[in-house]
Amino acid sequence: MTPLIVLTLVLVWQAVLVGYTFTLAGNAADEAVRAGTAAPPGGARQAACAAAGLKDLSSAWKGGAEVKCSASGYVTADVTLHVPVLFPGLIDFPARVTGHAGAVEEVKR
């Protein structure tokens, strides 16, 4: 019975890590798009967007993170994170989790 209980706990913990990775990706995309709407167009926007998307991620998720921002009147941010296996920072699943956010570009007059 003990191996079955341990296996169940391991599977539940892995499910928690997958859910937490989805939460982190969504929050990072929200932060990135917020910074992207306030930044001036061009390379500065991409840099501000990427920096904001990575700012609050711990090193376990930041290592393989990708932040992509685009704008043409509507700013979007996509953050892609790897899902860790049991212990964040050691081994990652080959599957990725993506968070997406968008906001209307701010116009300064």
For residue range 44-84, what is the model confidence (pLDDT) as tens digits? 778 888 888 888 888 887 888 888 888 777 888 999 998 88
- Dihedral through CA 91, CA 84, CA 28, CA 56, nearest 10? -70
Query: What pTM did the predictor assign?
Result: 0.81
Q: Which residue has the higher pLDDT, 14 or 109?
A: 14
Residues in CB range of 58: below 8 A, 6 or more apart = 88
Domain ranges of the chain: 2-104
